[in-house]
């Protein structure tokens, strides 16, 4: 509604994002006064009810935080508890973990590209309406998502909340013959992913260049997925154990999701950050596809994140085929992880960005403390700032068009609102 130089843009329920949230934008006398992305989902208490559970339980419990990226939660939990126990997982078991994570990237990114984000660029309200006019586009996306699900099912036991993951590795490892059959399903999906990147690169991208710091995991010589050390685009790095000293969460009054700041400043994690920090470590095919799509070594336009996600699908399929080709079944499907009192830190690159877990384990092998920092919570402040800049630059648009542009901008970040809902601290002041 517009009157007397003031405009109020209101989205009561954000569509095509994971979870429930809303957006409120206030403009007064030609200046954006306030942007609030409200997450009003109730707190889910995962960190609280992990306390007192056996140290072996967090991988299965935290997988239930998200049905789209459960592997991210499982492997971040495994990394943290194995760190507390002083155990390292390597060889073919570690390779299988990376393969499993590739499956999640393929499945999640493809869901986002085809069903959640592409309709914005193509002028459709949703994927159902898109399918009425372009059935083959949606079917192509669903076929590619099935390829990711096939990895999750074979290595993880099922596509949603995999049941084959355990501390130190897996309950069962696949045979070479099983993985050879999987590779036959992945090869045509790689061709589709290459075509998908070319397709999304032709979309019309609004102008928006973010200037936040970018944060992602980094590994020497390869694109970081399931392990790594925090690194910023400006080159700063620190041990994972120091994460909470740099990334500090804070409560805001309008959201059940915490906001976070990196050394006191807003920052962004996710595809733009991963690509800026590690694009040189993509496979040759993925680098060529990225160049053909018009991407340089760094991209700071969040609307073009859909292109980077498509490139990451190409990489994940390429990497999955490489891992399958190099696979030799390990003698043991897992490494023993004994209970040991201490604190462990773990992180992985969820499709939406860096996911950090910290667990304290007591002398009885029980979880004494838990801290889970999901990517969407880390991105919240940056999203609001980007929305403010976007609205300010497009005030000439009518309210309906501008509101739609704001919704599209939020979907750039593929927020997982359900993952971000935390219990807010309550302070009672009785007088």
Over residues 317-329, the pLDDT tens digits come to 999 999 999 999 9
Q: If we measure between CA atoms, which residue out of 178, 146, 213 comes closest to residue 382? A: 213
CB 226 within 8 A of CB 273: no
| Euclidean distance between CA atoms 289 and 179, whole angstroms | 26
pLDDT at 3 over 50: no
Predicted TM-score (pTM) of this structure:
0.92
Closest by alpha carbon to 321, among 150, 113, 158?
150
> Does residue 64 have a pLDDT over 60?
yes
Q: CA dihedral defined by 304, 305, 309, 311, rounded to 10 degrees?
A: 40
> How would you classify the pairing of strands 22-28 and 165-166?
unpaired
Q: Tell me: the pLDDT tens digits for 199-231?
A: 999 999 999 999 999 999 999 999 999 999 999
CA angle 87, 91, 93 (to 5 degrees): 75
The reported pLDDT for the residue numbered 419 is: 65
């Amino acid at each position: 509604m517009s009157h007397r130089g003031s405009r109020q843009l209101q989205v009561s329920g954000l569509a095509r994002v994971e979870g429930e949230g809303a957006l409120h934008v206030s403009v007064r006398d030609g200046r954006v006064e306030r942007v609030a992305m409200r997450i009003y989902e109730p707190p889910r208490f995962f960190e609280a009810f992990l306390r007192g559970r056996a140290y072996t339980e967090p991988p299965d419990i935290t997988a239930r935080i998200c049905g789209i990226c459960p592997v991210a939660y499982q492997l971040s939990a495994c990394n943290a508890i194995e760190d507390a126990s002083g155990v390292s997982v390597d060889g073919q078991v570690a390779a299988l973990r990376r393969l499993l994570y590739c499956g999640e990237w393929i499945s999640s990114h493809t869901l986002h590209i085809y069903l959640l984000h592409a309709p914005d660029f193509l002028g459709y309200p949703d994927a159902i309406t898109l399918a009425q006019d372009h059935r083959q586009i949606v079917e192509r996306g669903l076929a590619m998502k099935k390829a990711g699900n096939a990895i999750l099912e074979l290595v993880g036991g099922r596509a949603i909340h995999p049941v084959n993951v355990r501390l130190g590795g897996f309950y069962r490892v696949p045979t070479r013959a099983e993985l050879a059959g999987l590779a036959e399903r992945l090869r045509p999906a790689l061709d589709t992913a290459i075509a998908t990147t070319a397709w999304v690169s032709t979309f019309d991208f609004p102008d928006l260049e973010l200037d936040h710091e970018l944060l992602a995991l980094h590994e020497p010589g390869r694109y970081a997925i399931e392990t790594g050390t925090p690194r910023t685009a400006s080159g700063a790095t620190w041990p994972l154990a120091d994460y909470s000293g740099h990334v500090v969460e804070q409560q805001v009054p309008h959201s059940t999701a915490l906001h976070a700041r990196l050394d006191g400043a807003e920052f962004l994690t996710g595809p733009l950050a991963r690509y800026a920090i590690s694009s040189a470590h993509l496979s040759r095919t993925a680098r060529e596809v990225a160049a053909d799509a018009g991407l340089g070594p760094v991209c700071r336009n969040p609307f073009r994140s859909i292109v980077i996600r498509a490139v990451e699908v190409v990489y994940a399929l390429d990497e999955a085929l490489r891992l399958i080709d190099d696979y030799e079944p390990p003698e043991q499907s897992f490494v023993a992880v004994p209970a040991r009192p201490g604190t462990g830190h773990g992180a992985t690159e969820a499709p939406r960005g860096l996911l950090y877990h910290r667990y304290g384990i007591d002398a009885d092998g029980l979880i004494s403390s838990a801290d889970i920092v999901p990517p969407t919570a880390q991105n919240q402040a940056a999203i609001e700032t980007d929305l403010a800049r976007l609205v300010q630059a497009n005030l000439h648009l009518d309210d309906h068009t501008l509101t739609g542009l704001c919704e599209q901008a939020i979907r750039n970040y593929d927020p997982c609102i359900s993952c971000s809902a935390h219990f807010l601290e309550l302070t009672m002041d009785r007088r």
